Chain A
Amino acid sequence: MILIKHIPVLQVLIPLFAALFSALTFNKLASWLIAVIATTLSVLVAFVALYNFTEPIFYAFGNWQAPIGIEYRLDLLNQPIILYVNAVLLFFLIFGKQLINKTITKYIDSRKHHMFYSLLLFAHAGYVGVLSTNDLFNIYVFIEISSLATYVLISKGKNPRALVGAFDYLMLGTIGATLILISVGFFFSVTGSLNIEDISAILEKTDLSDQPNSQLRIVVVAIAFFLSGAILKMAFFPLHFWMMRAYQGCAPFILTYLSAISSILGVYMIMRFVHFVIDEELAHIPISFLLKTIALVTIILCSYFALKAKNLKTIIIYSTSAQIGYIFLILSLWSSKALLFQLLILDSINKIGLFTLIAHIEHKSLDLNITSMKQIRNSNWFKVAAGFIIVFSAGLPLNGMFITKIALFDLLIKQGLIAEFVVVLLASVLGILYHLKFAKAIFFGKEENGILEINTNLAGLFAIITIHVLTLVYFSEITRIIGYYIGYRI
């Protein structure tokens, strides 16, 4: 079928056109419907692409072949992630309709409600674009597209502080993107090309024989700029401070979508960069040492901050950063990619669950501070769902997180890394402690602070729990599939 040939561009175009259409309908319900239809189509398209996968698909825009033209590449590194990202958006739209109406669009001028969905789709198109492209400059362009939409998405919420947070996010996000742009410029000056495969081919050739020294230095500088830009943009520790401020003010429900995606995107960008642009051997030793140190420090410090935090949202955000630390640790070990993806997916499912929980609470009361949090009463299904989600997120037995944790310990012991093992163990202990704190605030609020009832639609929470259970039941299947894919690619 003709359309299958154009799948790479379809995946970006469907959200883009849907965004335009939903901006043109001046009706909230209609634009939501358009968004849902578009996302369902995207999920189907991504699934078809994955199902019929035989070898990486290259799509040259306007028939200008690489390295002159811009090219998209779909292989087993990004296609599953695209499918997952589409699925997250679908979940967000379907199960979150009531929460979106109550927590986010309530604070927008009622004539402009449809714009919210349109912006969401623009951001989504940008993210899918970052995932599919094979051209360095194109990555920068799509990062900026998605970021612009994201800045606006974050700026609306119950707390007017969201605006200030969004502005901070704009400042620092643009600095990060500019650093990436400078790095692209350096690569362009060394190799004369912008295509990822072309750059890696040229770097391989000239590094060893022709002009060893100066070429090498510029490439190292370029790598440094790219990595710092990526770390700043995705707010990995230690450059995460702006994210704390930005996420504090905004509506928690939008964070379900954003935080789930931004961490996966950050890891994808770094992996794509490290594996495909630069030679692995070149980067292996210094980067792995750097990554390992950052990872260990992140894990311990972020878990500690999560324990000391006073606000529920802050706990989750720090817990997120700690999980990113785990991911960095596994990245620096270079040997077990399947574990990495398991951890990423489970972590983002966890985060979706936790942020949805908080969104339900925040809808009723602005205050998420632990000491002054109101007591939740008479919302029994909410408490059951909250119990399950907290248990799943803490890594207590019989769920995917627990199995992943065991696999991580396994890996560390097998490689004889005792110091890392102790650090991860300590961090797990801290993890249980801050989950206990979280649970205490949700289940046992003090009565003198007031009472609130949760009566919003809880379908989303139960969907998350079902997904957790499914990942557990099909865990071995998923591991086998991911392992097969990773082995295939590398």
Chain B
Amino acid sequence: MTAIALPNFLIISTMLVGMVNLITPFFTKNDSQIRNFFLFSVSGFFLINILIIDYLFINGTEIRFTLLNLSKYSISFAVEPIGLIFLTMLAFLWIPALLYTVKFLSINGLVRSNRYLFFVNSCVLVGCLIALSANLITMFIWYEILTLCTIPLIVHDVNGKSINGLIKYLKILLISSLVLFLPAIIIIYTQIGTGTFVKGGFISAYFSDKAAILLLLAFIFGISKAALYPLHSWLPAAMVASYPVSALLHAVVVVKTGLFCIFKILLYVFGLEYLQYLFGNYNWLIIFPIITILYSSLQALRYYEIKTILAYSTINQLSIALMSAFLLTPKGLAAAVMHMVSHALTKICLFYSVGGFYSMNNIYKINELMNMKKLAPKVSFVFLISSLSLIGIPPLAGFISKFYIMMAAAESDNFLVMIVLGISVLFSALYLSKMLSFIYSTEDTVKTAIQIQNNDEINDNGEAKKNTKKLHWYILLSLYLCLTGVIGFFVVQQFVNVLLTFI
């Protein structure tokens, strides 16, 4: 095999192996050892392959191939730095996700687990395909398919609330991508004849300034998975899903896809220099994320359901990443990518730990979090560390990425960004410490907690065991894995930096 064919083959074979994970749930029994063994070994193998591809890329190999070709439009894949970062992140997070999901399903008695696992795995794989896409139309196709794959997961538990949430979710995502994202792509294709990503961007030669700005706005709002105000309401609506779904998809895969698409478009379709020229006088582009940050911070303080708070916090962090990217400098974009990775790790920890609380005690609101420290000390510890990371306390992940953003903002003398970043840190501290205070509550509230426990034991005899459910060690293992990511982010960011130098 020639030198070029081998890496192509590697990617294709990796994807095919990953697809084995799609089929195994259907042939094995619920929560059996065989199924778990297959799932973990395949995803572990997948991760190793991705690391090999990273290594090959760093040493200079080019990978690019085309699947289907229809005149101007073609489905083709290529490897490039940001995509690789996203891909590695997904591959790394797949293992703890599977660990957690498998046991969550069995503890909470969710039925049709094979269908559930199928769609979770397909979402991760589609996310990997998006990371590898080489032109605009490929990215769009897999973007839409990702939306479709999340549908059965949101309504896995069919009731009126989830159906309404699903309809709202679908309406916003599908319509915005159809009305804004797709026409922008088609206009580019008709005008230029190709949409392949090129280093340094290719739009400047073909469109006037005004048209380019309009296209940029269409892309930014059309990619509503990045949840800019006012197209953000799909995210709270999608929180009717169960915890593994909310965690993996709506905090990691789906929203990071949105961010990733915007980054790629900024970098490879428009090109940073052209953008700086367009927004030279006054960078009014950052106003959009800033509005979103302020809005979501205020909203997060309003609600009492845990998932809603976390949803708004996600919107907050996404807009922080977008704000950094919209600084339109290479450092700003690099900081945004770093934040993308760190937030993924942090949010997954948060969601998974709250999911652990839910499995033990069926918790929906903040005040039910009382006295969790006694019932689940390890999980509460994970929650503590990850919320500290989200706020931005050194030396955790959140601090490192926010530090990079501050540096990038300082370099371009953008005081507005620094101030808003500070405000957002303040607000996240507020709502997170509210939750923390409930968990680590003091003695006099313990009595009320015990009363609640006793009532439950008296009322439902059959479900008396609910309060004393133990979490399977898989769940704890997955939490610890993610936690190491958070704590050891310094190591992670070295790795990310290496790849970023290739831009």
Contact = CB atoms under 8 A, between A and B. Distances in A.
Contact of B167 (A402, A414, A440): A440
22 contacts: A396-B148, A397-B140, A402-B141, A403-B73, A406-B73, A406-B182, A409-B182, A409-B183, A409-B186, A410-B186, A413-B190, A421-B183, A425-B178, A425-B179, A425-B183, A429-B175, A432-B174, A432-B178, A433-B175, A436-B167, A444-B155, A444-B158
Interface string B169-191: 01100110011001100110110
Contacts of B167: 436, 440
Tell me which of A397, A414, A476 has the highest count of chain B C-beta atoms within 10 A of its own C-beta. A397
B446 interface: no
A398 interface: yes
A330 to B, nearest CB: 16
A138 interface: no
A335 B155 CA distance: 45
B178 A428 contact: yes
B70 interface: yes
Interface of A: 391, 396-398, 402-403, 406, 409-410, 413-414, 421, 425, 428-429, 432-433, 436, 440, 443-444, 475-476, 479
B178 A429 contact: yes
A397 B186 contact: no
B178 A436 contact: no
B71 to A, nearest CB: 8
B163 A410 contact: no
A421 B190 CA distance: 14
B95 to A, nearest CB: 28
Contact of A406 (B145, B170, B175, B186): B186
Interface of B: 69-71, 73, 137, 140-142, 144-145, 148, 155, 158, 163, 167, 170-171, 174-175, 178-179, 182-183, 186-187, 189-190
B171 A397 contact: no
A444 B163 contact: yes
B179 A398 contact: no
A304 to B, nearest CB: 15
Q: Which 9 A-B pairs have the closest CB atoms?
A: A397-B141, A397-B144, A409-B186, A413-B190, A444-B163, A432-B174, A476-B70, A429-B175, A414-B190
A403 B73 CA distance: 9
Contacts of B183: 409, 421, 425
Contacts, number: 56
A126 to B, nearest CB: 38
A428 B179 CA distance: 9
Contacts of B190: 410, 413-414
A48 to B, nearest CB: 30
A396 B182 contact: no
Nearest to A433: B171
A432 B175 contact: yes
Contact of B179 (A406, A410, A429, A440): A429
A436 B170 contact: yes
A308 to B, nearest CB: 16
Contacts of B148: 391, 396
A410 B189 contact: yes
A139 B167 CA distance: 48
Contacts of B137: 406
A413 B163 contact: no
Contacts of B171: 433, 436
Contacts of A429: 175, 178-179
Contact of A398 (B145, B155, B186, B189): B145
A246 to B, nearest CB: 32
Contacts of A414: 190
Contacts of B174: 396, 432, 436
A476 B70 CA distance: 6
A440 B168 CA distance: 12
A436 B305 CA distance: 28
Nearest to A446: B160
Contacts of B175: 429, 432-433
A476 B148 CA distance: 25
Contacts of A428: 178
Nearest to A403: B70
A413 B145 contact: no
A391 B171 CA distance: 14
